[in-house]
């Protein structure tokens, strides 16, 4: 990583004025995680060999640790050689927030889609820990809520098909990904021809992929690569009713609201594409 990249993420500022603790229904005091205690570099090299844990295949993933309300039991399958895990639920993750950051989108979508399991994938250790602790705190403060959301430290550029089956996801989110401005780092961008093929594989036919950025160069890059694969993705018309009434759009805009408050003149690009892969 270049020294110029070694800066702290501006999202650390977002919760400084918020409450430090909350009272659970049973009267106990729940301390809320504070980003200032989860210091982390703004970016991580997705091509580096990080010490990541991932299943050999989607059926080997134990989701009971992430969604205990939906997967109360987990045990090895009868065929131990397969590495599969048997759970008492047939539900599957449907929404994936790739590079979820501090989990703002997940927490916003959770009450809107209470029966949809959502997973945030984040490669940075401390940021992942923050989102995990935030989810656990909210589950204690609001019993029965936020049970459908979780986070995992993972690298979707390498292991998305280890977690998700073919046509499993109905929505994938790529909000404000690292633009990797330098030409020699373009290979680290989360949107590329090769990766789009993998995303199309795990998205169900008709599933939606949301790409949001405030960097014009990255907007052009993502648009170009998506247009090169019309057999996999079809872009939604921003003027269409489906686009305008999508509840995810409002949630996707929220990370940019601070930029607007700070009077920064930036382009906010929202690209929604529909999977056409069969």
Residue 178 a catalytic site member: yes
165 labelled as ligand-binding? no
252 labelled as ligand-binding? no
Say if CB 55 and CB 61 are below 8 A apart.
yes
How many angstroms separate the Cα of 201 from the Cα of each of 28, 114, 120, 210, 272?
45, 25, 18, 16, 17
123 labelled as ligand-binding? yes
**E-assigned strand segments in 168-236:** 169-175, 203-213, 233-235
Catalytic residue among 9, 97, 133, 178: 178
122 labelled as ligand-binding? yes
DSSP-derived pairing of the beta strands 203-213 and 117-122:
unpaired
Say if CB 101 and CB 71 are below 8 A apart.
no
Say if CB 215 and CB 206 are below 8 A apart.
no
175 labelled as ligand-binding? yes
Q: Exposure of 84 by Cβ count < 10 A (0-12 exposed, 13-18 middle, 19+ buried)?
A: middle
For the chain, how are helix, strand and coil distributed in percent, rounded to 5? 35, 20, 45
Query: DSSP letter at 212?
Result: E
From 96, 98, 97, 71, select the one nearest 86 (Cα to Cα). 71
30 labelled as ligand-binding? no
- Report the C-alpha gap between 156 and 11 in whole angstroms: 22
Q: How far is CA 275 from the centre of its chain?
A: 18
Which residues, other chains included, contact 194 with Cβ-Cβ below 8 Å and sequence gap of 6+? none
- Asked whether the CA dihedral 112, 114, 117, 123 is positive or negative, the reply is positive
Binding residues for S-adenosyl-L-methionine: 99, 122-123, 155-156, 175
Catalytic residues: 178
Binding residues: 99, 122-123, 155-156, 175
């Amino acid at each position: 990583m270049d020294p110029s990249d070694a800066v702290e993420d501006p999202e650390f500022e977002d919760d400084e004025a918020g409450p430090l603790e909350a009272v659970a229904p049973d009267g106990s005091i729940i301390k809320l995680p504070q980003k200032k205690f989860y210091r982390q570099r703004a970016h991580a090299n997705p091509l580096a060999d990080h010490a990541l844990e991932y299943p050999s295949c989607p059926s080997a993933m134990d989701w009971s640790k992430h969604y205990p309300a939906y997967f109360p039991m987990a045990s090895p399958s009868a065929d131990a050689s397969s590495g599969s895990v048997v759970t008492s639920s047939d539900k599957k993750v449907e929404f994936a927030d790739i590079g979820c950051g501090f989990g703002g989108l997940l927490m916003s979508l959770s009450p809107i889609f209470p029966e949809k399991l959502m997973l945030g994938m984040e490669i940075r250790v401390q940021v992942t820990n923050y989102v995990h602790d935030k989810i656990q705190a909210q589950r204690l403060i609001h019993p029965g809520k936020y049970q459908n959301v979780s986070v995992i430290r993972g690298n979707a550029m390498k292991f998305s098909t280890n977690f998700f089956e073919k046509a499993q996801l109905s929505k994938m989110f790529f909000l404000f990904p690292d633009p990797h401005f330098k030409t020699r780092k373009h290979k680290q961008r989360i949107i590329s021809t090769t990766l789009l093929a993998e995303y199309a594989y795990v998205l169900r036919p008709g599933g939606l992929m949301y790409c949001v950025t405030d960097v014009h160069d990255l907007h052009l890059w993502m648009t170009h690569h998506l247009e090169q694969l019309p057999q996999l993705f079809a872009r939604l018309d921003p003027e269409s009713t489906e686009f305008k009434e999508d509840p995810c759009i409002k949630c996707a805009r929220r990370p940019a609201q601070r930029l607007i408050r700070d009077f920064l003149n930036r382009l906010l690009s929202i690209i929604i594409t529909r999977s056409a892969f069969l």
